[in-house]
Structure 1
């Protein structure tokens, strides 16, 4: 997807990018490639692939109608190089974005990226979801949590739901159909007082399958969740 086709695809869905937004995406691409030579951020570095499989793909929650350009607190877990939250922040500047990541070098990249792109209302923290999910500064503080290709829903739910306010939503971006994952996660979602609202399968412009799962937090998360680092993976709920 060449940048011009990226702009056109968004315009056709009602999102006409300003020159500033186009410049932000272009600079994002440049910095991603530069920093990828120092630290492992992505296996995808060709411009057309980045615009399709990182930028366009990250905008799915907006393009599928699950976000509006209004003040919203969004936490992105395991965002790596900033996906999906920072492309969404470029398109919807009113989003208040927080990213946590377990690798400090990635956090350093994100700080520089935000500065270079002139992004305001973005916050980056080095840490693990299991630890910060028990921290009062983070727990039950967010309207939305996003996670893109982070973990199976059975594990992901424990890593994300504790961060949400009651009524808040997890938006999980997956590479393929999520029905089997959701069946396996039934017990975890029950224990965490969360409910699946929607599960949408769709295609990227090149035909690649994608899936978007929306989960709502119904009641306060029991204090014992998330469990200590490593346990959600070793012993899924």
Structure 2
């Protein structure tokens, strides 16, 4: 039985009718594969709309005025899992060139199916670790935007993201709750990685009124060559100040 998305309950003006059809197809593929791949705990239609589609795009909608994303931006979604926020971004902003990065080969194979069936011609899925990608010349400091959603601590996420971002580019961390301690630590650690904290924007999800935060940093100078550190170290020994 096909489950349809209740668009009328949560109007998403970002999507035209063709893009809604792509979201529907994405949802069906996700439901079909989720039982064996454990891609997400969020499978109810309305939850999917709010907590996956809407939430994936909110970080772009709240972009501070001082930051800009080029129309044909090169974007990397680090630890994408089931494709969030990268796939909703790819549907909404088809001119973006998006790399979906995950360390689990089975999830990447799923994403390659999504890319093919949704005809997302400017999207690729890669099975690798951010620590490895950040030290690879064809990826290091080449992205306009790196996004990290629900992966690890803020400082660890930043060590994954900033080495991949070009000077002038943006690292966007999707967070739930946010503390002054986290903000202070991130602001102090960012310069070690070549970045600067720009803004943290809080907002509510439209239906459940849950608090979310988008944390924006800008790449201001090259990341020192020792970062990111080898696989596993950023999570085991987060940078401090």
Residue pairs, 1:11-160, within 5 angstroms? 11=13, 15=14, 17-65=15-63, 70-160=71-161
For the residue of structure 1 that corresponds to 2:36, the secondary structure is coil
Query: Secondary structure in 2 aligned to 1:97?
Result: strand
Q: Distance in 1 between matches of 2:196 and 2:25?
A: 38
* Aligned-residue CA RMSD (Å): 1.6
Inter-CA distance 83–208: structure 2 relative to 1 (3 Å threshold)? same
- Partner secondary structure for residue 217 of structure 2: strand
Question: Structure 1 residues 65, 225: CA separation in 2 closer, same or farther (over 3 Å shift)?
Answer: closer
Equivalences for residues 158-237 of structure 1 within 5 A? 158-206=159-207, 207-237=209-239
Give yes or no for contact 1:178–1:211 (8 Å, CA) kept in 2.
no
CA offsets 1:124-149 (integer angstroms, 9 cap, x no match): 11111111110101101100000111
Unaligned runs of 5+ in 2: none
- Cα distance in 2, alignment partners of residues 178 and 108 from structure 1: 36
Q: Please report how far the alpha carbon of residue 68 of structure 1 lies from its aligned counterpart in structure 2 after TM superposition.
A: 5.8
Tell me, what secondary structure is at the counterpart of 2:181?
helix
> What residue ranges of structure 1 are gaps of 5+ in the alignment?
none
User: Would you say the 8 A contact 1:178–1:213 is kept in 2?
Assistant: no
Q: Which residue of structure 1 aligns with residue 6 of structure 2? A: 2
| Alpha-carbon shift at residue 114 of structure 1 (Å) | 0.9
More displaced 10-residue stretch of structure 1: 23-32 or 64-73? 64-73
TM-score (norm 1): 0.92
- Kindly tell me: are residues 23 and 231 of structure 1, through their superposed partners in 2, closer, same or farther at Cα, counting changes over 3 Å? same
Deviation at 1:35, TM superposition (A): 0.6
Question: 3-state SS of the aligned residue for 1:219?
Answer: coil
Aligned residues: 231
Residues 146 and 170 in structure 1, CA contact (< 8 A), matched pair in contact too: yes
1:20 and 1:100 map into 2 onto residues whose CA distance is 26
Partners of 2:48 and 2:70 lie apart in 1 by 24
Structure 1: distance between partners of 2:90 and 2:139: 20
> How far apart are 1:5 and its partner, in Å?
2.8
Q: Aligned-pair distance for 1:202?
A: 0.3
2:131–2:230 Cα contact (<8 Å) kept: yes
